Structure 1
Amino acid sequence: MKARNILLACSVAFLSGELGAQVQVENPSVKKDRREVEVRFDIRDMPEYARSRQKVVLRPYLHSGTDTLWLEPAQLYGKNRFRRERQEHFLAGNKEWTLTGYNVFLKGGTLEYSERVPYERWMKEAGLGIAYHTEGCGCECCGGDQGVPVGPVYVAPVPEVTPVEPSAKNFEVVEARKRWVFKEKDMKVFFPVSKTVLNPDAYNNKVTLDEIMAGIRKIGDMEKLRLQGVEITGFASPEGGLSLNTRLGAGRAAALKEYIRGEMPELRDEDFVLVNGVENWDGLRALVAASSMEYKDEVLAILDDRTLGSGRKAALMNLKNGKPYRYMLKEFYPGLRNACYVSVFYDVLADKVADAVNAANELIRAGKYAEALKSLEAYQNDDRVFNSIGVCYMMMEEEEIAIEWFEKAIKAGHAEAEKNLKQLK
């Protein structure tokens, strides 16, 4: 960096538009190093302007807005000035006094100035100034204040974060027992009257069965889904006897289970839940409610009267001399002879830590370091988060804490942390 001349002797005049000087400040630098700021520059004296009776005092300082921090001064002695002050100290009882630190004879040489001070936020864009004056010149005009151009104090590091691939061994359930969505809300497989034998080629059953099997296979093929169970509720229409209907409901559910297992032998018994719905009163009510049949309200009143119990069937048969019952036998009951409500349930799995790290890395790229750090708090025992936590602290200028996390990440085998650590060291 270009040297800066500082005018210190009143006897020196303007030379070619530049200020003459007794000293030059060269190679100035102000940089943040972890939790400190290092100020460095070289002081070179100009022998042609030296005066033996004088002392040049330089007082460096950092400044930013209203904040100022004064640094250790440097004093450059002429020979006679040194002798005079040494005599004064001797007479005052300080017989061991001598020049130390930045109190020196230069004699045409160079003094390397280097000071470190604790970093404070206001220093992020601080400038360097040097106040100066000359003692022993016999006047009051031998001083001033000069700014010294330096680069930025704080240079933000470039964080290194890499995606974390989800690992099956770390999968856990994040959404339990979700219902697979088929094209139809209720998947129904139909059976002949009073039969439990499943005929895939009848009643358009093949289309329904193919869709059920496709859904189960898709769940098995997707890494982040796990089959939770196939629930089959077997029903009979309400027109038969209760004993027969009970047998039909159980047999139809079992028949559909065996069909599915025949298509996918890898499924286990525990993958199925069979429910015997016996008489499908709920299905009948839904069909009546959606219809415009005669005596609709009266039929619904009977179906909704839980006090009737097993007497509902007789009540329907006696309503209006059996006219609405005969209509339902023809229009609704054939659709109730089925193993219906075939539902496939699955769990959604995720590697929560991998997902959290990847989401936090997006926040880091957006400069939202505190938010990213908070999102990782719950996973601090998993080594996959170590580097990202370190990056958050690094970008928040908490370097010492960042270094601890990077070192932990490196020890756990995460190479990207090495690149981040090098930026701090």
Structure 2
Amino acid sequence: MNKILYIALLLAGTSAITTAQTEGETLRLEKKMVERSGDYLLIDLTFDLSGLRISSNHSVAYTPAILSGDSVRTLPQLIVNGRNRQILYERTGRNVAEDGEFAVRRKNGTEQRFDYHARIPYARWMGKSEMIVTADDCGCGWNALSSTRSDLFPIRLRQAPRPLMAYIAPVAEVKNRAISGSAFLDFPVNKTDIYPDYRQNPRELAAIRQTVESVQDDKYATITGISIKGYASPEGSYANNERLAKGRSAALLEYVRSLYDLSGVDTKVDYEPEDWAGLERRVEKLNRPDKEEVLAVIRDASITDPDRRDTKLKTLNGGETYRFLLNEIYPALRHSDYEVAYTIRPFNVQEAKELIYSDPKQLSLDEMFQVAQTYEAGSAEFKEVFEIAVRMYPDDPVSNLNAANSALLNGDSAAARRYLAKAQEGPEKRLAEGVASWLEGDTDQAATIFRALANDARVGEQARANLEQVKD
């Protein structure tokens, strides 16, 4: 049973029900529970018949009813028969299930209880109502006896929040993607030719091939561009370093061209003759007493000639600092950065539903959103799609907003608050913050937010509906 709304009406003493013409003592209500399940109200009552005496030829018809103002809904009768009256009742061939009533024979002088169960369509007014009962031992009927009712207990249904959220559909995109890396190739001194088997080159070149082939082998992807930028370290003359950085970058591109058909692919080669920015970053991370001296030289704006800057580094601490840089820092500055750009083809909803679980990186946020729309809001599948989306796009404001909304539909305000910290600003986010306050029990704050949004063009309908629930 999918119980949506709950009521805390548990055992709380007993209530006595008297008859219009007392046959003998009273019927008592021993236990009671009322709850809403979807569009129905479920009533479970336990009546104690032990104090009731019914003569053999008589019966009493008890009619429970739910009452609120002018609204009333009667429930199936409980007919308590004496011995002979029960025999007559059974001989009439009446079917309790079809006639919508319960019948029980009273065995006078014994402990006896009856478990009463009813299921009726739910109406909103029942949320704040009273359970009453009339007792008819004269055959007068409900209308004549309603003024002599016995009040049993109040019904106060607490409605679990069923918030309405406002999602944002992501903008459809052309799925441009890129994979990048850095290659630390070894070259003989002053050479620009690539030797595939030289030193660490087999490993570095294998990494480049793996990057290109990971896109080339993807049946959904098309390579659109390959770019390479080479860097040299600062030692030696700037002119020679420029020649090396330029020539080595071009050589790497030619190596890639020799392996793959790049027709229709945009290729680009760039170079940085001396990687002073990289040197600065690495020195900043050092824990050496001469660290600040080195940084002062690198950052000295008055030195405009890179060769003079290099010469000044050589003079620090009698050359000991420069030897350390040559051996420990400069090799990492000789690198070639590469990037493989590609596009992923668009997918229809059915394709996207398959890929969302097997290869979600292929999907755009818009495609994931379209998948979510095929599931019922608040369902496990609906929630999972938005969680996948925010994992794939963790910093995207729209994915975070929609993930927050999904979490709120599942009652998880803590997760929603984490997503909302990165969510797109606007009325949709404010609405979600109101729902989070509501779930956390701060109905005053929630109501304030919903009132402020009640006339908003984008979320007004949801805000008004949520406000009605909060007020209830």
Asked whether the two chains share a fold, i.e. TM above 0.5, the reply is: no
Between 1 and 2, higher relative CO (CA 8 Å, sep ≥ 6) is seen in 1
Q: TM-score range by the shorter chain?
A: 0.3 to 0.5
* TM-score (normalised: structure 2): 0.39
* TM-score (normalised: structure 1): 0.43
Specify which structure has the higher proportion of strand.
1
